[in-house]
Structure 1
Amino acid sequence: MADSRTNSRPTGDLLIELRRDVNDPLHRQIAAAIRAGIQARRLRLGMALPPTRQLAATLDVSRGVVVEAYQILVAEGYLTSRSGGYTRVAVGPQPEPATPRAEPTNEASIDFSSCRPDVSRFPRAAWVRSVRRVFNETPSELLGYLPGRGVPQLRVALAEHLNRVRGTNAHPDNIVVCNGYTQGIALLFQVLKWMGAKRIAVEDPTSDDDAVPAARALGLEVVGVPVDEDGIRVDVLARTAANAVVLTPSHQWPTGGVLPPESRAAVLGWAADRGALVIEDDYDAEFRYDRAPIGSMHGLAPELVMYMGTASKTLAPGLRLGWMVLPQNLVDLVAEAKVTADRGTPTTEQLVFADFLARGEFDRHLRRMRPAYRRRRDVLLEALSTYCPMLEPAGVAAGLHLIAWLPDTVDETAVVTEARAQDVKIDGIGTYRLSSKGRGGLIFGYGGQTEAAMTEGVKILGSVIAALAD
């Protein structure tokens, strides 16, 4: 009975198929396969082929068979070979450099987008030191599959940092590490829906790129609750019959209000009465300039509040590191959802950040960045005073952005559109309103812009607003 096996194996950059049930000699089959690859330009000019001994072992033939195939192709001019060197493809067009095609971009020269840190100030040297320690010292077992909560080292370091700096009441066992806020809020909403939740309350205005789309994607109803100068209106929240509320109490996004103690107590009272969850998004509270630190709501009632934080605003969004401090009854469920989603956040990144935290490098980085961001804020305020005196800045005491209210006579959409036409990108607050109406305003992010660019951008905006006000 004839042998009908087919060998089809990748051999480096080659795919050689051998039929052992035909009369065509094996060396001619190998030569034909390589010749076809060169003619189809799968094998490019200058490409090195596997050594004869390696290819012979891969295809389970004698080395002489491969040598004979290569000799045929060298004689035909398809290959070139020299003693002590690789056999290479000798014909074909000159290969083009393998450079990725640039993605299309619609970025403006001056971009006031909010919540963007200055990634050029990322503490690379300190981070690299932590990377080296992790790869030199990490036990091998930590590189396997881990529970959904995250590596113990990071959870311990986070609990210590958050309790000390943000006034949380965090325990390492109640922390789940995630890939940024967007994944964390989506995992939480999955669990809440499984537990019977139907309605999520959010501040109005609010960010439109994480909690709102995540809730709607799961079929949860989203209810906007208006905010005033201090934050969410608790009297309206009490009428929503929501199962959870997403808050930015330390620096409301985007208006910048700080939820006062009496309102925090009222929110917690509402949550206790309804059996609801308070989701505290503590997105940029590390950066404060003109006021005393504002502690987290989590420290007041950890059984009612789920605290969320990330490294996106403090270090770099590209790290994709976030964390949730959960009430005890949600920890295992959220950790299970995390495992189902992606088997866990990369271990090495977690360990590097744990080392970075434990050695005080994170604190040192924050101490360096606070005065830098404060200077940028001050330059922005000075520019607004000089070139846009008709605007009314607010929410300036902390964070990486401020809002500037427009006069009632100036249309927000027209300002944003005309500014974009003049290569200045800025968002209007109306983009982030769900249902409530209010004053027009512009959101100035200053974390990722140079002082000169901000001043020039504000000067352009001043001209735009003046023209529209006429």
Structure 2
Amino acid sequence: MNTVNSTLVDDLLVELDRTGATPLHRQIEAALRDGIRAGRLRHGASLPSSRRLATELGVSRGVVVEAYDQLVAEGYLTSTPGSYTRVAAVGGQAAAVPPPPQTAGPHIDFGYGRIDPASFPRAAWLRSLRRVLTDAPHSRLNYLDGYGLPELRTALADYLDRVRGTSTDSSQVLITSGYGQAAALIIGVLAGRGARRVAVEDPSTDDVRLLAHLHGLDVVPLPVTGEGIDPAALERADADLVVLTPSHQWPLGGVLPARARREVVRWARARGAVVVEDDYDAEFRYDRAPIGAMQGLAPDVVVYAGSLSKILAPGLRLGWLVVPAHLADAVAEAKLLADRGSPAIEQLAFADFLVRGELDRHLRRMRPVYRRRRDVLLARLAESLPGFEPTGVAAGLHVVVWLPDGMREDDVVAAVAGHGVRVAGVGPYRLAGPGRQGLILGYGGLSEGRITEGVAALAAAVRALRQRR
């Protein structure tokens, strides 16, 4: 039953005329009957107790009891001793709209950028929530500024300097609702200051491209090699902003070398441009040494962006920016206009979670889990699809698999979907036209058994394609 807690007397809209000739219980009956017929009081809604309604209306309880009894007799209400009086199903009342049918998703989804939601450290997060709800000053529940709460900004500055090698002052940290909002704020501010062109990696996600078009900016693709972009292409781009994933290029997995990073910084300073560093999953690395953030090299021209989406849970909707001083106030003002600030309780809980080392413990626990899943994926691919060439396997939560010559990724994506498995092609994320054919296989959200089952289905789909050809 779809129950609606409608216990506030004011919601019933009962008005009594104490000078008229109609008895009070009849007026109560008529008001409730009209409310039920009009659909304001829906099937299953609970009504106030007769004692409470009588007190609020200033009448004797017997008057309300008489009204309720009459409506029960007419079938408008149902009443069970010791329980609520509720609105009964009434003919002619509009039926509740059923929820839309759930479409069946893929049986196995190699979606990229997925974490394992079952691994979320609920107990540790709950402890942080309890502490902040108990100890946080009342002022923290007031309206926020555009920067975010100082507790989290300070904790993040310490964490990023320690773990990612940034050069962070807490005064330049801004809290956002994830990377999407962070990118929107930066692009909006720079467009307002006269930026006209944004350079992006090719291939790359389409978030920045969509935002750029929304603000009327031209998008310039920068071809990606095994190590990231070629700085020479950036010199030719005539851009005011470049967005990079230098520590783990999305999706191909390259690491921008130190020489190229220095050239990008030199370009930005010479042109008066801005570099946005999307550091989306650098905490997960398996076969290589840690790679420091590019922001630590040039905090005056690099905007550092990160979020909890890949390292803890995307549903928390928490992200952050480390912004050069000359942009900080403008971005904070844009954030304030966008949503009046990210939720305070979640900010305080994450600050407590960080300071107590819970994020470090969570990452130490999850790295070997994700590494085992990656290893299973690579082993099954080598066994079942030896002609497929994995790349970008040393870090992150996905791999790209290059297809054998003559095989089209669209055909493979469609064929494996027929086996109940979802994979993505590289093609939709290219800007400058077709390139090498490949698949993006995310493994973070899949168990080792599901990965094995999914690769077997992929191999079966490939065999069927080859037989048809």
Equivalent position of 1:4 in the other structure: none
Equivalent position of 1:55 in the other structure: 53
Q: Secondary structure at the match of 1:294?
A: coil
Equivalent position of 1:68 in the other structure: 63
The structural deviation recorded for 1:201 is 0.7
- Equivalent of 2:253 in 231, 253, 256: 256
Equivalent position of 1:276 in the other structure: 273
Q: Secondary structure at the match of 2:264?
A: helix
Tell me, yes or no, if the aligned pair for 1:117 and 1:316 is still in contact at 8 Å: yes
**Unaligned stretches of 5+ in structure 1?**
1-8
Distance (whole Å) between structure 1 residues aligned to residue 336 and residue 18 of structure 2: 46
Tell me, yes or no, if the aligned pair for 2:54 and 2:63 is still in contact at 8 Å: no
Indicate whether 1:402 and 2:399 are aligned: yes
1:290-336 C-alpha deviation (Å, 9 max, x unpaired): 00000010000000100000000011110100000000011111111
Distance (whole Å) between structure 1 residues aligned to residue 87 and residue 293 of structure 2: 68
The structural deviation recorded for 1:39 is 4.7
Distance (whole Å) between structure 1 residues aligned to residue 280 and residue 430 of structure 2: 19
Distance (whole Å) between structure 1 residues aligned to residue 123 and residue 304 of structure 2: 30
Equivalent position of 1:165 in the other structure: 163
- Equivalent of 1:177 in 168, 175, 178: 175
Tell me, yes or no, if the aligned pair for 2:36 and 2:87 is still in contact at 8 Å: no
- Equivalent of 1:439 in 433, 436, 439: 436
Distance (whole Å) between structure 2 residues aligned to residue 282 and residue 415 of structure 1: 30
- Equivalent of 2:418 in 417, 421, 436: 421
Tell me, yes or no, if the aligned pair for 1:388 and 1:459 is still in contact at 8 Å: no
Distance (whole Å) between structure 1 residues aligned to residue 250 and residue 435 of structure 2: 15
Q: Secondary structure at the match of 1:201?
A: strand
Tell me, yes or no, if the aligned pair for 2:48 and 2:85 is still in contact at 8 Å: no
Indicate whether 1:108 and 2:103 are aligned: no
Distance (whole Å) between structure 2 residues aligned to residue 89 and residue 466 of structure 1: 61
CA spacing shift, 1:285–1:450, aligned 2, 3 Å:
same
The structural deviation recorded for 1:13 is 5.2
Equivalent position of 2:378 in the other structure: 381
Distance (whole Å) between structure 2 residues aligned to residue 241 and residue 20 of structure 1: 79
Q: Secondary structure at the match of 2:47?
A: coil
Q: Secondary structure at the match of 1:370?
A: helix
1:356-409 C-alpha deviation (Å, 9 max, x unpaired): 000000000000011111101100000110001011110000000111111121
CA spacing shift, 1:236–1:22, aligned 2, 3 Å:
farther
Tell me, yes or no, if the aligned pair for 1:166 and 1:295 is still in contact at 8 Å: yes
Equivalent position of 1:5 in the other structure: none
**Unaligned stretches of 5+ in structure 2?**
1-6
After TM superposition, list the pairs within 5 Å mapping 1:136-285 onto structure 2: 136-208=134-206, 210-285=207-282
The structural deviation recorded for 1:67 is 3.7
Read off the aligned partner of 2:399 and give its amino acid letter: L
The structural deviation recorded for 1:466 is 3.4
CA spacing shift, 1:273–1:389, aligned 2, 3 Å:
same
Q: Secondary structure at the match of 1:63?
A: coil
Equivalent position of 1:328 in the other structure: 325
Read off the aligned partner of 1:71 and give its amino acid letter: E
Distance (whole Å) between structure 2 residues aligned to residue 103 and residue 49 of structure 1: 31
CA spacing shift, 1:14–1:445, aligned 2, 3 Å:
same
Q: Secondary structure at the match of 1:196?
A: coil
Tell me, yes or no, if the aligned pair for 2:295 and 2:302 is still in contact at 8 Å: yes
1:15-56 C-alpha deviation (Å, 9 max, x unpaired): 324467966455432221112334556546775432455435
1:248-276 C-alpha deviation (Å, 9 max, x unpaired): 00000000010011111111111111100
Equivalent position of 1:128 in the other structure: 126
Q: Secondary structure at the match of 1:308?
A: strand
Distance (whole Å) between structure 2 residues aligned to residue 46 and residue 273 of structure 1: 68
Distance (whole Å) between structure 1 residues aligned to residue 166 and residue 317 of structure 2: 22
Bigger drift between 210-219 and 13-22 goes to 13-22
Read off the aligned partner of 2:352 and give its amino acid letter: D
Read off the aligned partner of 1:63 and give its amino acid letter: V
Read off the aligned partner of 2:209 and give its amino acid letter: V
Distance (whole Å) between structure 1 residues aligned to residue 324 and residue 268 of structure 2: 13
Of all paired residues, the percent bearing the same amino acid is 53
Q: How many corresponding residue pairs?
A: 456
Distance (whole Å) between structure 1 residues aligned to residue 147 and residue 280 of structure 2: 21
CA spacing shift, 1:21–1:323, aligned 2, 3 Å:
farther
Read off the aligned partner of 2:69 and give its amino acid letter: V
- Equivalent of 2:307 in 302, 305, 310: 310
Distance (whole Å) between structure 1 residues aligned to residue 44 and residue 252 of structure 2: 60
Q: Secondary structure at the match of 2:359?
A: helix
Tell me, yes or no, if the aligned pair for 1:12 and 1:50 is still in contact at 8 Å: no
Q: Secondary structure at the match of 2:168?
A: coil
Q: Secondary structure at the match of 1:298?
A: helix
Indicate whether 1:341 and 2:316 are aligned: no
Read off the aligned partner of 1:68 and give its amino acid letter: V
TM-score using structure 1 length: 0.91
Tell me, yes or no, if the aligned pair for 1:49 and 1:86 is still in contact at 8 Å: no
Distance (whole Å) between structure 1 residues aligned to residue 435 and residue 80 of structure 2: 78
TM-score using structure 2 length: 0.91
Distance (whole Å) between structure 1 residues aligned to residue 405 and residue 389 of structure 2: 11
Tell me, yes or no, if the aligned pair for 2:53 and 2:64 is still in contact at 8 Å: no
Equivalent position of 2:4 in the other structure: none
